[in-house]
Amino acid sequence: THWKHGGIVGVIGYGGGIIGRYSALVDQFPGVRQFHTYRVNQPSAWFYTSEALRKICDAWDKHGSGITNLHGAT
């Protein structure tokens, strides 16, 4: 891919949190030179309600890039 991982902020282990993202295609897409995504990791045997996901997304829309990375369970 053309995305580089910039590290994770405020997470014990590697599960979720704020992740820095950097693009290798800055000449073509200068607006996404660098930004952050919010990774939501679902704990085992636990599911987010729609209300909880809306709150997470609303907070990230207000304070972050608005781009989330939701890790699913099978």
> Which tokens is 47 given?
């599911």
pLDDT in tens, the chain (74 residues): 445 555 555 555 555 666 777 777 778 877 777 777 777 776 666 777 889 888 988 988 888 777 776 665 54
pTM for the model:
0.52
Other CB atoms closer than 10 Å to residue 37's CB: what's the count? 20
Q: What are the structural domains, with CATH classification, of the chain?
A: 3-71 (3.30.70.2500)
Beta bridge partners of 14: none
